[in-house]
Structure 1
Amino acid sequence: MTHNADRLYELLPSVYRRRDEENAGPLKALLGVITEQADLIGADLDARYEDWFVETCEDWVAPYLGDLVGYRILPGADETLATGSEAAQRLLAALASRRDVAHTVGNRRRKGTLALLEQLAADVADWPARAVEYRQLLGVTQAVRLHGRDPRADRRRLTRGRLTDLRRADALDRLGGPFDELAHTAEVRSITSPRGTGRYDIPEIGLHVWRLKPYSITDAPAYCEDRARTHFTFSVLGNNTPLITKPEREPSPAHIADETNVPAFIRRHAFAERTAAYYGPGKSLSIHLGDGKPVPLGAIVPADLSGWRYRPGRGQVAVDPVLGRISFPAREAPDDGVWVSCHYGFSADMGGGEYPRPVDPASPKKVYYVGPGHHRLITEAVEEWRHDKETDAGLREGVIEITDSGAYQEQLEIPLDRGDRLTLRAAQGTRPVLRLLDWSSNRPDALRLHGTGQGAATDPLPRVVFDGLLITGRSVRVDGPVGQFVVRHCTLVPGWDLDEDCCPCHEEEAGIELVDTPVCLEVEHSILGTILVNAEEAHHEPNRIWLSDSILDAAGAGLAAVCGPDDTPAYAEFNARRTTVFGSVLAHAAGLIENSIVDGVVRIARRQNGCVRFCWLPEGSRTPPRFHCEPEHSGDPARVVPRFTSARYGTPGYAQLALSCPGEIRRGADDSSEMGAFHDLFQPQREDDLRLRLDEYTPAGSDAGILFAT
């Protein structure tokens, strides 16, 4: 809103304004100051008015509005929220959901309904859910029909609790899962028992929740695994990727979620029986050829492509959603390539992806675009930027933006002069792939950022930012005088590449190489392989390495994630916050390491400075002073060991703490959240908050428990 700074002055009679102008305008200046303060008071009053409503209030006001209607915040969280820190603000957003506060009164009127429990999971924990009343799944003995009873009621009763029909393959495939509909014998254990949950009993209600989120890939190239046999994979890396459902909006608030309403993995039987529900533009997956022609629904054949044994008929395209594979008929490989849109599962907004990323507030003078309708290669955009900055010093801050989710295969070497600031980023809603291949037979083919040292000595060292990219095939090498290298929301594939089982192809190779450079490396919300520091100690100060909300993966057991040549300590100062490290850390010094998991020995050469707090480190690690670190704090190293759903990059549960992981790790951070890369999801607090709501809204005589589907 634009305010007129002279509006009070303009209200004065003209005679006073005329006299004020004759005296150099002191009255106008005074009223200008009063108007400015009046605008501040008016803005504050507007903000206070907006704080009356939960839809428009500030985040810190939501719990107070909830208190007016009896909304209870998680016990113990008020101490963390009172600090007012950035971490407290993130926790506040996770615990005091506006939707949950706004629905409090309405939820009490719907107490005891299954649809309400699903809505609570979405409002409180932001988890899609399906509620199941297990009483309906108990095997029962059918009573003889009595005179006067409604025949329709008898027919409904006969369809429930009966013996299993072995011809119903889809129902058998759902056995034991959230969508199981077969009859079971009763279990004595309660669903809330800490010694092992039992489901099938009269009072039991299960709330199945999905922790993994669906992430889209749109119009991306498929990987040609074998062109002679016309085999393709949905993943551009060539690994098997289970496809996940893009959830559809439920038709009504009383609807109970089915497989199309939650981000469940697509089963082969479900895809075969309801292909139209999953396949097509805007749905869970679709395929089109390089000429833009989509593969029609009638040509799609659901199949099991394990071992590539299934051969589709002429004019058919076989799709396996469990492995993420595509097979065309023999000798009918599309000449113009295959492009796919699909959804994969992951825990958080991390690594290269199409999810919304924070926008850089800086506005460059010129943006160099790469993609359809623009530069065909990244190298062309780099050359244009280097030519322009020679003639216009204002263009030394360059931005190269890739506008699509294509794969770019080229040899990249970017020279950087003093004073340069270059950003190589993906456009919002895209995930471009940089494939670094064997271009030269006599030297490595890394993506090279080379500091030339040219320019005025007073100019700062160059700064480079990578944002939203997926880089595979080789490492990123930084050498020469470069000041800062920032990696945000990127994936540098650990081990360079993957095989079909998500095993790294080159597990001993580095993801980032720092070679004789003073660069400061900053990694945020990214996944990357080993950091190799190759530097002479006499030439410059130790490199500073900062990692936050990221996964650093050495891609092999017993390998180092941070090291120097020949596994010597890296001449660097290592810092990590909310980070999961697979591999050992060998470094010259350490700054701050907190709320992290290092699944390998940590050996710091200089231990006089630095701090390690609220982390899990293996026994035998040599670090600066530690505070509240596991397993030292618990004193039980045999039990307190991190367990992950998967430790292989490319799998949906990569780096996710398993449900069997000890509580000292799942709740071991300084704010009682989990250690590691997914700390800011605050899953322990969301789980506790959801259990609190279930106790409040579950009817008397029933037990409601949370069951994690993924």
Structure 2
Amino acid sequence: MTARPDRLYDLLPAVYRMRDAEQGYPLRDLLRVLATQADVLEQDIARLYDNWFIETCDDWVVPYIGDLLGYTLLPEAATLDATGDACTAGLGRVLAPRADVANTIDARRRKGTLSLLEDLSRDAAGWPARAVEFYRRLGWMQHLDHQHPHRGGTADLRDPGRLQRIGWASGAFDPFAHSVDLRRMGSRRRRGRYNIPDVGVFACRLRSYPVTSTSAYCVEERGPHCFSFSVLGNDTPLFRRPVEETEPTHIADERNLPLPLRRYRFAVRGPQADYASVAAGLYGDGNSVQIWAPDWPAKGQGVPVPCETLIPADLSDWHYQVPRGRVAVDPERGRLLFPANQRPKRGVWVSYQYGFAADLGGGEYARVTPELEGAARYIVHTALPNRDPSTSWPPGHYGSIAAALTAWAQAKSAAPAQQPLHALIIELAESGVYEGSIDLLLDAGEAIQLRAAERTRPILRLLDVRASQPDALSISGAAGSRVLLDGLMIVGRGIEVQGPAEENPATDDLCELVIRHCTLVPGWALHCDCDPKRPGEPSVSLDGTRAALRVSHSILGAIAVISPARRGEPPLLDICDSIVDATGVERVALGAPDEAVAYVEASFRRCTVIGEVQAHGIALAEDSIFAGPLRVLRRQQGCVRFCYVADGSRTPRRFHCQPDLALAAVAAGDVSRRAHEQLRVVPQFRSQRYATPHYLRLADRCCAEIRSGASDRSVMGVYHDLYEPQREANLAARLQEYVPAGTDAGILFAS
């Protein structure tokens, strides 16, 4: 609705408006206040009509509409309050999914059908899934009048593609026949599968995220013809871009699910397939993978590389005899191999999909990015395979960040004194690599926002080019200045915030540094096996500054703090929904290189911290995992609640923390039992290396005290807002409601 502040004033007769103008418009100002409240009332009345329908209603109305249809909510829904904060709203959307309530009547009409179970997984839990009737995979003698030649069968050792499917995706596509498994599908100990009443729903918890037109990394230590899909140089499994199902009765197959690609599935299928060609449905514009190599193998070619030139191959040791004019691709490791005597001279660009669990760090996903008000906007572009390097840019567009900063300095010097320029937005327009060193020096009251464009993932590659000084992204500023980083991936070096010189007053300093939806690669760079190249180096260094550091929905390495000469109150360090990874539990995630503790007042909410935390004070630690010891100097203030705190920690008062609760339930004299509980209640991660699909995700065998130990019974740590325990419980309740009588349905995780 368009606001009209003078709509009531315009209804008055002209004579009253003329008299009001003579007196300085006091009546107009009064009616503007009344019009504002009338707009609020009018909007509320309009929302009453929208709240009649499930498609347009507010989130709090969804459970009420569901109650009219007999939709049964989980017991946790009764604990939701009406505060309207982000966490409560997110949990409410999980406990009462809008799509599941909207499709309640349709689901009841389709009750007992196999395809409905896949729709329930998508609507009730938000997980794409494949439903499997396990009795169809039993080995049994078929009736001669009702033969099923394509069902089950023994293993063909000459078909590597079928053999690879046995354990792939937890067996969701296992094509072979099995003997009867008498264990129940719903057993809490060891779950059975292959029995007549068993039905499994293989849910995919990982998501498939795109990377568009980004430079491939040349693995020079292996050869100039060896490339990695990942711009960091690490191995990364390529994932499939899911294709939407067109028929409601269709049972999902591989192309409909966000699953990793396999070498033999990447190849052309068929009874006479020799696995030497790539499937056309996986390669090309809008598909899972695409490669550009300008002027390869001949001038004017390679944009993009034709599908006919690709060969699926196992490049685990980088040894493969590649014919001239062909490219070997390993989708399981994310590697490319060109002929040694025919390597690309103008570089390689790739588009692909990678697997991850949440919208975290830099990525091409939708995110809300607040903008600076009244800011000038400069657009920066990067090199693309089909773009002429000598392109001339229109006004406001630049070929590098350094050129945009130079133009900003010239604009400030040319601005009149009455209208100084104080805000700048540098938007990186494409996913790609932006190289160079950056030094941001801000004037008093100035703000600079370095941000990614919508649905892009720009990589800021900081190069080691200066021998006399560090090459980090250097930031310094005067009083009231701010720097905001949004949606970036920073590799090669870290961020260094410089404080004022000793002769300057303490107030002449940067105000705050805000990092949102960014990735500061832990260890600065990666080896092929995802091990960090510089594990001891920090991602953020606060050198003699009192600037506040605010981090949200980001991944970063260690944080180092060097205190200023004049301390005063400790500066603020606020981290939420993020990962702080020192690349090892024995290393320091937050500390000071020259003191016992970092002189900051820290706050951690829904975070996973790998490494030791050494801080002056902790204002609040909530729903977080501290895999290393947490040592706080000032224990009289602050609170640690619903967190896992490693053994040997020194913290402020704790509330509902682990392993404290587990140890409190054991008798004080039972030493062996206490030692067992101490080891049992420890977070178990599927992977502790950045750039792996299951990075710092809790393993399914992790104890319930961690997997549902947060304040709202979600998981502790950075993946708290996924609400996976609630999604699983909601889906299990729906399965019991919609499967036929006597059927034992269970949830299995394909990823």
Structure-2-length-normalised TM-score: 0.88
Question: How does 1:637-656 map onto structure 2 within 5 Å?
Answer: 637-656=678-697
Cα deviation for residue 141 of structure 1 reads 2.1
Inter-CA distance 228–672: structure 2 relative to 1 (3 Å threshold) = closer
Aligned to 1:191: 185
Inter-CA distance 699–407: structure 2 relative to 1 (3 Å threshold) = same
Cα deviation for residue 76 of structure 1 reads 2.4
Inter-CA distance 332–34: structure 2 relative to 1 (3 Å threshold) = same
Aligned to 2:635: 607
Aligned to 2:287: 283
**Counterpart check, 1:406 vs 2:428:** no
Aligned to 1:258: 253
Aligned to 2:162: 171
Task: Quote the Cα distance in structure 2 between the aligned partners of 1:327 and 1:539.
Answer: 55
Aligned to 2:482: 463
- Choose the corresponding residue for 1:632, options 660, 666, 670: 660
Aligned to 1:46: 46
Do the aligned residues in 2 keep the contact of 1:603 with 1:623 (CA within 8 Å)? Answer: yes
Look up the equivalent residue of 1:289 and give its one-letter code.
A
Inter-CA distance 631–159: structure 2 relative to 1 (3 Å threshold) = same
- Choose the corresponding residue for 1:433, options 432, 454, 459: 459
- CA distances 1:271-291 after superposition (whole Å, capped 9, x unpaired): 013511211111011001246
Cα deviation for residue 536 of structure 1 reads 4.0
SS at structure 2 position matched to 1:217: strand
Inter-CA distance 350–4: structure 2 relative to 1 (3 Å threshold) = closer
Task: Quote the Cα distance in structure 2 between the aligned partners of 1:246 and 1:141.
Answer: 39
Q: Percent identity?
A: 48
Question: How does 1:387-426 map onto structure 2 within 5 Å?
Answer: 387-392=410-415, 393-426=419-452
Question: How does 1:167-566 map onto structure 2 within 5 Å?
Answer: 167-176=158-167, 177-226=171-220, 228-274=223-269, 275-290=279-294, 293-372=303-382, 373=393, 374-392=397-415, 393-451=419-477, 453=478, 460-480=479-499, 481-536=509-564, 538-565=566-593
Do the aligned residues in 1 keep the contact of 2:631 with 2:650 (CA within 8 Å)? Answer: yes
- CA distances 1:230-273 after superposition (whole Å, capped 9, x unpaired): 11010000000001110001121111111110000101110013
Aligned to 1:667: 708
Look up the equivalent residue of 2:715 and give its one-letter code.
E
Aligned to 1:113: 113
Question: How does 1:574-613 map onto structure 2 within 5 Å?
Answer: 574-613=602-641
SS at structure 2 position matched to 1:641: coil
SS at structure 2 position matched to 1:65: helix
Do the aligned residues in 2 keep the contact of 1:81 with 1:92 (CA within 8 Å)? Answer: no
Computed over aligned residues only, the root mean square deviation of the Cα atoms, in angstroms, reads 2.2
Cα deviation for residue 6 of structure 1 reads 7.3
Aligned to 1:619: 647
Aligned to 1:133: 133
Cα deviation for residue 363 of structure 1 reads 3.7
Look up the equivalent residue of 1:267 and give its one-letter code.
R
Cα deviation for residue 124 of structure 1 reads 1.0
Inter-CA distance 268–461: structure 2 relative to 1 (3 Å threshold) = same
Aligned to 2:388: none
- CA distances 1:472-491 after superposition (whole Å, capped 9, x unpaired): 11111001221101111111
- CA distances 1:474-532 after superposition (whole Å, capped 9, x unpaired): 11100122110111111111011100000011111111100000111111100001000
Do the aligned residues in 2 keep the contact of 1:432 with 1:469 (CA within 8 Å)? Answer: yes
Cα deviation for residue 418 of structure 1 reads 1.8
SS at structure 2 position matched to 1:705: strand
Task: Quote the Cα distance in structure 1 between the aligned partners of 2:363 and 2:734.
Answer: 33
**Which one is further off, 411-420 or 464-473?**
411-420
Inter-CA distance 579–6: structure 2 relative to 1 (3 Å threshold) = closer
**Counterpart check, 1:88 vs 2:88:** yes
- CA distances 1:456-483 after superposition (whole Å, capped 9, x unpaired): xxxx431111111111111110012211
Inter-CA distance 312–536: structure 2 relative to 1 (3 Å threshold) = same
Inter-CA distance 592–39: structure 2 relative to 1 (3 Å threshold) = closer
SS at structure 1 position matched to 2:661: coil
Task: Quote the Cα distance in structure 2 between the aligned partners of 1:187 and 1:439.
Answer: 63
Cα deviation for residue 7 of structure 1 reads 6.9
SS at structure 1 position matched to 2:317: helix
Cα deviation for residue 85 of structure 1 reads 3.3
Task: Quote the Cα distance in structure 2 between the aligned partners of 1:621 and 1:570.
Answer: 16
Inter-CA distance 199–461: structure 2 relative to 1 (3 Å threshold) = same
Look up the equivalent residue of 1:277 and give its one-letter code.
G
Do the aligned residues in 1 keep the contact of 2:642 with 2:656 (CA within 8 Å)? Answer: yes
Inter-CA distance 621–19: structure 2 relative to 1 (3 Å threshold) = closer
Inter-CA distance 70–309: structure 2 relative to 1 (3 Å threshold) = same
SS at structure 1 position matched to 2:549: strand
Look up the equivalent residue of 2:241 and give its one-letter code.
K
Question: How does 1:25-40 map onto structure 2 within 5 Å?
Answer: 39-40=39-40
Look up the equivalent residue of 1:477 and give its one-letter code.
E
Inter-CA distance 37–161: structure 2 relative to 1 (3 Å threshold) = closer
- CA distances 1:101-125 after superposition (whole Å, capped 9, x unpaired): 1100110111111211111111111
Inter-CA distance 589–370: structure 2 relative to 1 (3 Å threshold) = same
- CA distances 1:301-350 after superposition (whole Å, capped 9, x unpaired): 11111101112111111111000001111221111110000010111111
SS at structure 2 position matched to 1:89: helix
Task: Quote the Cα distance in structure 1 between the aligned partners of 2:290 and 2:456.
Answer: 17
Task: Quote the Cα distance in structure 2 between the aligned partners of 1:552 and 1:8.
Answer: 55
Inter-CA distance 228–164: structure 2 relative to 1 (3 Å threshold) = closer
Task: Quote the Cα distance in structure 1 between the aligned partners of 2:77 and 2:36.
Answer: 39
Q: Which runs of 5+ in 1 are unaligned?
A: 454-459
Cα deviation for residue 540 of structure 1 reads 4.1
Q: Which runs of 5+ in 2 are unaligned?
A: 270-278, 296-301, 383-392, 500-508, 664-676
SS at structure 1 position matched to 2:398: coil
Cα deviation for residue 23 of structure 1 reads 6.9
Inter-CA distance 506–228: structure 2 relative to 1 (3 Å threshold) = closer
- CA distances 1:403-462 after superposition (whole Å, capped 9, x unpaired): 1122122122221222111111111121111122221223322111123x4xxxxxx431
Aligned to 1:64: 64
Look up the equivalent residue of 2:620 and give its one-letter code.
L
What number of residue pairs does the alignment pair up?
690
Task: Quote the Cα distance in structure 2 between the aligned partners of 1:568 and 1:19.
Answer: 76
Cα deviation for residue 3 of structure 1 reads 6.9
Look up the equivalent residue of 1:606 and give its one-letter code.
R
Do the aligned residues in 2 keep the contact of 1:436 with 1:471 (CA within 8 Å)? Answer: yes
- CA distances 1:60-104 after superposition (whole Å, capped 9, x unpaired): 001100110011111122212455433211111222221111100
Look up the equivalent residue of 2:345 and give its one-letter code.
D
Task: Quote the Cα distance in structure 2 between the aligned partners of 1:20 and 1:430.
Answer: 55
Inter-CA distance 431–39: structure 2 relative to 1 (3 Å threshold) = closer
